[in-house]
Amino acid sequence: MLPNQLLLKFALRHPLPLIGTIVLGFSGALFNGVSTMLMIPVVLGLLGQEINLKGAPPLLQQAFASFEHLVGDARFLTMMACVLVAILLKNVTSYASTLTSGHLSRALVSDIRKEGLRLLLDVDLEFYVKTKVGDLINRLGGEVGATATAIRTAVQMLSTVITIFVFLIILLSISWQLTIISTVLLAIASLSNSFFVKRAEKFGQQLSDQSRDYSVAVLEMLSGIRLVKSTASESREYQKLEQLIHAREDADFRSQANASLIPPVNEMIGILVIVAILLLGRLFFRGQIEALSAILLTYLLILFRMLPFVGQLNNARGAFANLAPSVSVVNEFLRRDNKPFMSKGHIPYTAMTEGIRFENLSFTYPGHDRQVLNQVNLWLPKGTTLALVGSSGAGKSTLADLLPRFYDPTAGRILLDDRDLKDFELCTLRQSMGIVSQDTFLFNDSVRNNLAYARRDASDEQIIAAAKRANAYEFIVKLPQGFDTLIGDRGVMLSGGQRQRLAIARALLRDPEILILDEATSALDTVSERLVQGAIDELRRDRTTLVIAHRLSTIQTADQIAVLDKGHVVEIGTHADLLKQGGLYAQLHSMQFSEEPQTV
């Protein structure tokens, strides 16, 4: 879809404010034109000047004729009152038009934001691997605002064009010769604006790029604030961001300098047009200038009142060009055809009866050549535990990510009770799974709300029971406000082990049928590890569990252990079987045993 089509698509979703803005613009133009047209004859009449309407446009003659039954000052005073009413109506419609276009603009911002948010929630994880969060926040914030302004500018341009059109008709009815000349002169003036418009677009692109770079850099700095502080890199980070701020300031200045040139240039050209018309009028109406002075003055006044609208149109062209890059960014962002989306499946998932089969599973990350999983065949019966072990990079996390369909296999399939995972509704399927990983995510909210995140209807009793089973109750009640304590961004107020136990309690509360565990107890001390391990054992009980094991001591009781090496399953069996085989598992085991004798 072209950016302009995007603007039209969103604008058409709000037909009433859109039509309102245009109709009000048109009415304003009409009142403006009528009041201007009557102004000079009325003023001259009030000053006692003889008005000769011979040769005046029929429109003006008709307007005068409706007041013919009145005599003397009464006639011109009544006409003046009409002019004032027309000016009042023009201002009322212009106020209403501003409100309506403001409403349209706000509605458009909300619409685009909502569509952007929906897209962000629908799109696959793969999209996030390639896209920076700062960039996304910038798109949803500044760029959407700029796009809405672009739409509003386009609507205003339309209503300005209507106004100019109405003025032109009045001018044509007064003198078509002068109007042709003034139109040609004004068109040349507008063409000369193209230079500024082109530059406005270039500066708009620079501004858009720099806003993105700045947002990305700030977010990255904030996400890595611990690293920044621990390496005492504050001043380096500050300088990097300072440069970005200055670069943006410079681009903003260039953009403003260019945009500010448009009005004075237009005004000068407008004055030149007026002078030219005056001179040409003298030439055309030589000999009858006295008689036609009222009409010529009216013409000039209308032209004079029209010029700001021509200027406005030219300014709007510049502003629109300046905003066009943001429209392109938002257009690109809202496109769904170039982003990854999972097929959603159609069968609601209810319960498993037999188990999960990984069948000839191969996987390559999108956009990469290297196969990360190669012909993996595994069988995980219901209610049992399958542990994945292997060296770093062997493909354990990748295999675990295929189960909740964060990615789909490139070849082979995963069967749940003999039915392809892809057939199940994605939403109900994921609801049946609980994932507890090493990098536990906690919201900046109370302990209670963090626990109940996956189950909003959980009662206090259920929350407390889950916390107790996860060995988390004791530390929670010791927090300043117990379950109502706010735990800070990502749970910074808690220790690693406490965060993990909260994550486990959350999973217990959710009570998932299938559990995916990324066991990471290496960062914890022995007491913490024991508490976490106890909580994990509680969580695993009677569930179908896939465990990524980093410490072999924690999975010795697993029903099956699969050893992965470079994407292949090289060994499978129980702890005792694998030790007996004396293969890779036995090697890994003896290595860990010598490194960490206390944990085995």
For ligand ATP, the binding residues (CB under 6 A) are: 129, 365, 368, 372, 390, 392-398
> Would you state the structure tokens that stand for residue 565, as one six-digit string?
């090496």
Q: What is the DSSP letter of 489?
A: G
CB of 26 to ligand ATP, least distance (A): 55
The smaller minimum CB distance to ligand ATP, of residues 216 and 562, is found at: 562
Residue 335: closest CA among 491, 84, 127: 127
Q: Which lies closer to ligand ATP via its Cβ, residue 34 or residue 569?
A: 569
365/475 with CB nearer ligand ATP: 365
d(CA 151, CA 108): 8
State which residue, 63 or 372, has the beta carbon closest to ligand ATP: 372
Nearest to ligand ATP of 148, 372 (CB atom): 372
Helices (H) and strands (E) in the chain, counts: 21, 10
∠ CA 256-275-199, nearest 5°, is 20
Least distance in Å: CB of 380 to ligand ATP? 17
Cβ burial 81-101 (10 Å sphere, 16+ → b, else e): ebbeebbebbeebbebbeebb
Six-digit token string for 18: 């859109």
Output phi, psi for 379, to 5 deg: -130, 120
CB of 571 to ligand ATP, least distance (A): 15
Cα separation, 107 vs 554, in Å, equals 55
CB of 582 to ligand ATP, least distance (A): 22
3 state SS for 133-190: HHHHHHHHHHHHHHHHHHHHHHHHHHHHHHHHHHHHHHHHHHCHHHHHHHHHHHHHHH
Contact by Cβ (8 Å): 530, 598: no
Distance CA 486, CA 488 (A): 6
Least distance in angstroms from the C-beta of 548 to ligand ATP: 6
**CB 230 → ligand ATP: shortest distance, Å?**
22
CB 366 → ligand ATP: shortest distance, Å?
8
Cβ nearer to ligand ATP, comparing 345 with 567: 567
**Nearest residue (CB) to ligand ATP, 194 versus 587:** 587
Nearer to ligand ATP, 244 or 536 (CB): 536
| Smallest distance, ligand ATP to C-beta of residue 216, A | 19
Are the beta carbons of 388 and 585 closer than 8 angstroms?
A: no
* 76: CB partners within 8 A, 6+ apart: 42, 45, 46
